[in-house]
Amino acid sequence: MIQILDGATTMGSFKHILFTTDLSDGSYTIAVKAKQLAEDLHAKLSLVHVIEHSPMLYGSGEFAVPLDLDVEKSLEEQAHEHLAKQASELNIPEDNRWVLVGSKKDEIVKLVHEISCDLIVVGAHDKHGLALLMGSTADSLLHALPCNVLALTLDDD
């Protein structure tokens, strides 16, 4: 059994859980755990996937434009398809899932405020060396969100 306490908040008081997915197989395994947690707590579960803007730009400053808008559009369409498949397998309705484009941290923080989540579940890769110094989505969210964050380790075998 998992227990999270942060002052006055106990596991039983969470009403809306948001799972951030990268749509990988490992992430789906964590989504199943998030679904079970939501069921155990009688909480609503939502899913979000964020596509970061392509770093491939032509120009700089205010004149920078993506080299290929079709690539970003294609990534977004594929993400919608994969997220719909995951959500369907987990019985999560369409109005409880989002594919967003932008900074992972910024988009997730905005969404948390819009839909009033009180727990975010993220998958955390076991990082070593330079990746450890660079930080992660889970770490950046931990310091930016107004709610609790539960990081579950992804199997990176």
Residue 20 lies in a domain: yes
Domains contained in the chain, number: 1
| Residue 1 pLDDT exceeds 80 | no
146 versus 30: the higher-pLDDT residue is 30
The CATH number of residue 48's host domain is 3.40.50.620
Query: For residue 121, is it within any domain?
Result: yes
Does residue 3 lie in a domain region? no
Q: Yes or no: say if 79 and 16 are a contact pair by the CB < 8 Å rule.
A: no
Q: Which domain holds residue 34?
A: 12-153
Q: What is the pLDDT of residues 61-113, one digit of tens each?
A: 555 555 566 777 888 999 999 999 999 999 999 999 999 999 888 999 999 99
Distance (Å, whole) CA 82 – CA 97? 11
Give the bridge partners for 152, in sequence order.
Answer: 123
Which of 56-60, 111-115, 137-141, 143-147 has the highest average model confidence (pLDDT)? 111-115
For 24-54, give one letter per residue: b (16+ CB within 10 A) or e.
eebbbebbeebbebbeebebbbbbbbbbeee
Residues of the chain with pLDDT > 90: what percent?
Answer: 49
| 7 assigned to some structural domain | no
* 1 part of a folded domain: no
